[in-house]
Amino acid sequence: MSPLCLTHADGTTTTLRNRLLMGSMHTGLEELPDGWDRLAAFYAERAEGGVGLIVTGGLSPNREGNMWPGMRTLDSEESASPHRAITTAVHAHGAHIVIQLLHAGRYATHAEGVAPSALRSPISPATPREMSVEDIRRTISDYAQAAILAQSVGYDGVEIMGAEGYLINQFMAPRANQRNDEWGGSLENRIRFGVETVRQVRAATRSDFIVIFRLSMLDLVEGGCTWDEVVEMAKAVAVAGASIINPYVGWHESRVPTIASLVPRGAFTGLTRRLKSELDVPVVASNRINDPRLAEQILAQDGADLVSMARPLLADPMLLNKFASGQSALINTCIACNQGCLDEAFSGRLTTCMVNPRACRETELRIEPTAEPKRIAVVGAGPGGLAFAVTAAQRGHQVTLYDAASVVGGQFNLARLIPGKEEYSETLRYFSAELVRHGVKQRLGERASSESLLKAGFDHVVLATGVVPRRLTWPGIDHPRVLRYADVIEGRAPVGARVAIVGAGGIGFDVAELLSHEHLEGDELAQFTATWGIDLKGQNPGGMTEPHPARMRRELWLLQRRPDSLGKGLGKTTGWIRRALLRRRGVNMLSGVIYERFDDEGLHITVGGVTKILPVDHVVICAGQESEQSLLGELERAGQPVSLVGGALMAGDLDATRAIDEGVRLACRL
Ligand SMILES: Cc1cc2nc3c(=O)[nH]c(=O)nc-3n(C[C@H](O)[C@H](O)[C@H](O)COP(=O)(O)O)c2cc1C
């Protein structure tokens, strides 16, 4: 029997619907004036898509616990009552919803932050005030009060956030708790805050009210908890009344990636299984489980009682229904790029999803049948063109998609060849299936000309032709050892042992990753844990061990003209990972570089007024893109209605989030 539909000893069955939990995501809608209705639509769509249990984004039970000023709290009847819109909408689809209670502690970015000890975190702007015993007691009762409010507005439970380095986690770990009263020191004292919070929440609420505890299973920071301490905490919160334990990995300040695309799928499920074997309450597997087949496998092998998916449900709210009805090829899989979600959230903007711009815009971006079907040509099958073609065809337009290449994907075909970005193939698999499903006519391997487009008499032409490299003019640029990045990534141009990469935007970093990456011993998980120093055996406090990154065989220089530090424009939540990898491998990074020339001696550059020669075998050009608009002029002169999306509209560093968003929005308008 498939674990999608388990039959228990008493004859009852459980389906994955009851076993799939939507992980907590604070989206930013919570703070918008019209946020309640938008959140209701956001969650309702996921409930309709087959999720059985939803956890909302975290809200603090009091003001001090807010992450940033102006965040909403759950601390009064007035603050609670608008939540009814959410609970009603979710219940209408037969799903359950619990609200997460998250006190930021020392991660607060405002002046009122409090914590067990007055220790500033390395990523925080302010030092928190040390909580008095009175503060501690009041805060615990604020959690209980928030749970009562949640219950009163129809939530089926609460999730108490005890992970990711937030307040409860801060109490647990010596790293952030240096108290010597009954709330610090011994393990019993350090776990008291979390345990007492669960106990009071349980006591204040109905017996069938769900109390999930989000537990830090592996802190991944120095001074974190040991595995035995984590197990003790889990047992203690279960005794105090937690109905479900939802383990998480890493603190915000950890310098180990836990959810980016280079983290192997299901990397931490082995640890979850180990935790589950110690407990009598249901345990959730979480992080980088982006494929229902993996979820099914974890459940089948008894690795967890429930599986959590967060970002995968941004990418595709209908994921579970598609899987259950045998339409897995149509799942828009989360590729863990973090560009539309975490990067936006941590930049103070609304969360969305690179591969699904409708995420958190459900009420505004509606894909509805068109009243006036048109014949539309799309030139360019990169992400922007694909998003447009599929959405327009879904609305009922007759769409013909042209690309000079014989496969769809454009620049995504390069991205997916970069180590750690293999997931990008999933997006191409999804779009390819959608093109077929919606009857888009594919003219691949055909370079559309303005004459052929005009002759075909389309009602509208969409140019999604992307970018072309801008010609650099320094002497030696045409030397045979000066290479184009696409040739290097696709393996058409062999690259020597000493290489300079010109341009340190996203593409430059990708090329540096490709050229510096070496394989270590072991499977994907073993390589990942060795590279980052993760102790999955739980022998060391915080799960940290000495990293053993692979030695780079090449000598690499990553260069940029701008004077600021390299990688500034990379994603807020993933840029540090990419920089750290290159730094550990010994890639030379130089900014403020003036390129003089390339000749048989190497690349001649001037940095800070000093001229030097980098004795490289090859130079890879990753700088300067311009919009490919060569068809535009003639089409416009002929009076052809034309639109541009993505790189064809605006060059600069490649931005698939913008390209896909523009493609979908244009298709909704036409
Ligand atoms: C935009 C965004 C907001 C998040 N907000 C929260 C939050 O408020 N509370 C929380 O416990 N986790 C939060 N998370 C973490 C997710 O719950 C989840 O653990 C993480 O995304 C990894 O799981 P996934 O691979 O299934 O996405 C957030 C994640 C994202 C992408």
Among 143, 166, 424, 485, the active-site one is 166
What six digits make up the tokens of 484? 């184009």
| Residue 161 CB less than 6 A away from ligand 1 | yes
The residue whose C-alpha atom lies closest to atom 11 belonging to ligand 1 is: 24
What six digits make up the tokens of 17? 């619907």
pLDDT digits (tens, 9 = 90+) for 605-661: 999 999 999 999 999 999 888 999 999 999 999 999 999 999 999 887 668 999 999
Ligand 1: centre distance to CA 499 (Å): 38
Q: Which atom of ligand 1 is nearest to the CA of 23?
A: 17
Pocket mutation for ligand 1, best pick of 21, 25, 346 (most atoms within 8 Å of C-beta): 25
256-292 in b/e form (b: 16+ CB < 10 A) is bbbbbbbbebbbbbebbbbbbebbebbbbbbbbbbbb
pLDDT at 12: 52
Check residues 518 and 461 and name the one with the higher pLDDT. 461
What six digits make up the tokens of 235? 């047992």
Ligand 1: centre distance to CA 623 (Å): 34
Stretch 12-26: mean pLDDT: 79
Percent of the chain scored above 70 by pLDDT?
97
| Residue 311 CB less than 6 A away from ligand 1 | yes
pLDDT at 212: 97
Confidence of residue 16 (pLDDT cuts 50, 70, 90): low
- Coil, strand, or helix at residue 126? coil
Ligand 1: centre distance to CA 27 (Å): 9
Amino acid at site 184: G
Ligand 1: centre distance to CA 116 (Å): 24
pLDDT at 527: 92
> Dihedral angle at the C-alpha atoms of 278, 284, 285, 291, nearest 10 degrees?
150
- Say yes or no to pLDDT of 7 above 70: no
Burial of 69 (0-12, 13-18, 19+ CB in 10 A): exposed
Stretch 570-578: mean pLDDT: 90
The residue whose C-alpha atom lies closest to atom 2 belonging to ligand 1 is: 25
Catalytic residue at 166?
Answer: yes
Ligand 1: centre distance to CA 568 (Å): 24
Q: Which atom of ligand 1 is nearest to the CA of 338?
A: 31
Closest of 59, 51, 57 to residue 22, by C-alpha = 51
Q: Which atom of ligand 1 is nearest to the CA of 288?
A: 25
Whole-number Å distance between alpha carbons of 353 and 195: 35
| Residue 102 CB less than 6 A away from ligand 1 | yes
| Residue 71 CB less than 6 A away from ligand 1 | no
- For residue 363, CA distances in Å to 45, 123, 317, 340, 513 come to 11, 35, 14, 18, 39
| Residue 416 CB less than 6 A away from ligand 1 | no
- Answer for the pair 340, 359: CB distance below 8 angstroms, yes or no: yes
Question: How would DSSP label each residue in 146-179?
Answer: HHHHHHHTT-SEEEEEE-BT-HHHHHHSTTT---
The residue whose C-alpha atom lies closest to atom 5 belonging to ligand 1 is: 25
- Say yes or no to pLDDT of 2 above 50: no
Confidence of residue 490 (pLDDT cuts 50, 70, 90): very high
Whole-number Å distance between alpha carbons of 130 and 113: 9
- Say yes or no to pLDDT of 4 above 70: no
| Residue 98 CB less than 6 A away from ligand 1 | no
pLDDT at 346: 86
Count of helices and strands (H, E) across the chain:
24, 27
What six digits make up the tokens of 386? 């694909």
| Residue 410 CB less than 6 A away from ligand 1 | no
Angle formed by the axes of helices 192-204 and 133-152, nearest 10°: 40
Ligand 1: centre distance to CA 23 (Å): 6
Non-local CB neighbours of 105 within 8 Å, separated by 6+ positions? 65, 113, 114, 115, 116, 128, 166, 167, 168, 169, 170, 176
Backbone phi, psi, residue 119, to 5°: -120, 120
Percent of the chain scored above 90 by pLDDT?
89
Confidence of residue 5 (pLDDT cuts 50, 70, 90): very low
Whole-number Å distance between alpha carbons of 438 and 453: 22
| Residue 286 CB less than 6 A away from ligand 1 | yes
Kind of pairing, strands 13-15 and 5-7?
Answer: antiparallel
Cα atoms in the 13 Å half-sphere on the side-chain side of 320: 28
| Residue 298 CB less than 6 A away from ligand 1 | no
